[in-house]
A and B are shown apart, each in its own frame.
Chain A
């Protein structure tokens, strides 16, 4: 489960400020279209960890929100498991760029959101505990999000997402705002989590290293309107490092160049 097909996806925003009120265009809905991206065609296999890479502002968040059903595309469609996406669903959980734990609920209650449908209380409790343990938050069940560090909040949100047992997990810049060490550790945990649950994970990032270290497939977006510059399957064993994998290191240089940096360090 978790096969994603994206067909001819396009998104444009109408810029109201540039509305040109002529006779042909008397209504508010017309104005200058700001095309964020167009002609996006992608196919993600089941169980893949996909990293969508691109500079800030190129439309990664917008695209992920459309794939997850939070926003409507201007054209084209997204098909997950043979079904066209029409709106959000607990079959595909979105982990938001900024902390989206409900601040008035404890860690336990937040994780419980994913398991609400379970009737059997003992099964439910066991499930909640299992996911909390998976992200190593034992002992913090009764803490409110504001009592946790940034990294712990991300992990709690990850536990909540996993608890819903989705076919697909979408993560928007899951490591942004974390300090370097927490970033490295979270990255490792997400890779382990993915290998453990084996579900499709789509991660949006602007960090080339994140994409190369984690992805089974990388998709590079760039341009205005944005288009797919590159999509490549990465068949390298994990854990990955640049020293032992010269091809990966070469690809890294190519990616930097592709995104406009001449001398990668």
Chain B
């Protein structure tokens, strides 16, 4: 009963235990503080990075790239998914290509993206776009195809225009599955941004980690990792909240 009233208790225990284990390992591993810093040193490093503004700057840079790439993926991926979901011919033409490109890791695109987009935000945004685009297209297509056909019959019966079919049937009908897909995709995008920032840019959490390694500051490396984890959790939390909006409540009660 108590644990339910205090939802933070169990995670708190887990985190404290991890900290303790970490401290013990750092003390007794035989590695120097430079190689395996303990929690105290990492905490001090975190304070330094926050105070001199570096952490905020890097986090904002990473979030900006994820947001830009992710929005581009939504902008192109969801309409394409709707098209493929509704129009069989388009699907027959494009699906093989999409299925072929999909399993290629976005990281394999690094050389080409640098060649095409040079240095700076652009190649990183492009990689995040690629990482989110294919999963979004595929899941939007599936979401549209699984809309109960009777709703399209209703639309025809009530003389819906094409535009109304999209706004009144397809978009609300696919929304529950697409929101779930967005939640998964944003996690993928966040995984990729770190890798993308290890090339071609001079800011972002990925760059912070790479740069700190070059400076042999493993405490800063760990700080970068911690912030990446925290922001990842936050993104997931935001997307989970989105999944609770009223207009998709019908889907969770077997409405369909």
A234 interfacial contact with B, CB 8 Å: no
Check A90/B158 contact, CB under 8 A, given A103-B255, A146-B253, A146-B255: yes
Chain A residues, Cβ within 8 Å of B255: 103, 144-146
Q: List 11 A-B contacts (CB under 8 A).
A: A70-B157, A90-B158, A93-B157, A96-B154, A98-B150, A100-B154, A102-B168, A103-B251, A104-B172, A104-B175, A145-B255
Q: Which residues of A contact B (CB under 8 A)?
A: 68, 70, 87-90, 93-94, 96, 98, 100, 102-105, 113-114, 116, 144-146, 164
State the CA gap A164–B156 with chains docked (Å).
Answer: 13
CB nearest neighbor in B for A92:
B157
Is B77 an interface residue, CB under 8 A from the partner?
no
CB within 8 Å for A102 and B247 given contacts A145-B255, A146-B255: no
B interface residues (Cβ-Cβ under 8 A, vs A): 150-151, 153-154, 156-159, 168-169, 172-173, 175, 247-251, 253-256
On whether A88 and B250 interact (CB within 8 A), knowing A102-B168, A104-B172, A145-B255, the answer reads no
> Which residues from A are CB-within-8-Å of B251?
103
Are A146 and B158 closer than 8 Å at their CB atoms? no
Bound Cα distance from A102 to B157, whole angstroms? 13
B residues within 8 A CB of A116? 158
Q: How far is the CA of A164 from the CA of B247 in the complex (A)?
A: 25
Contact present for A103 and B250 (CB under 8 Å): yes
Nearest Cβ in chain B — how far from A223, in angstroms?
28
Q: CA separation between A160 and B154, bound complex, in Å? A: 11
- Contact A70 to B249, CB < 8 A, known contacts A145-B255, A146-B255: no
**Known: A102-B151, A104-B172. Contact between A89 and B159, CB under 8 A?**
yes
Once bound together, how far apart are the Cα atoms of A47 and B103, in whole Å?
61
Closest A residue to B153 by beta carbon equals A70
CB contacts (< 8 Å) of A94 on chain B: these are 153, 157
Q: Are B157 and A104 in contact (CB under 8 A)?
A: no
Q: Which 7 A-B pairs have the closest CB atoms?
A: A103-B255, A103-B250, A104-B172, A88-B156, A146-B255, A88-B157, A146-B253
Contacts of A96 in B (CB 8 A): 150, 153-154
Q: How far is the CA of A114 from the CA of B158 in the complex (A)?
A: 7
Chain B positions within 8 Å of A113 at CB level: 154, 158
Q: A100-B150, A102-B168 are in contact. Are A70 and B250 (CB under 8 A)?
A: no
CA distance A104 to B154 in the complex (A): 14
Closest residue of chain A to B157, judged by CB? Answer: A88
Interface centre among A93, A96, A98, A103 (most CB of B within 10 A): A103
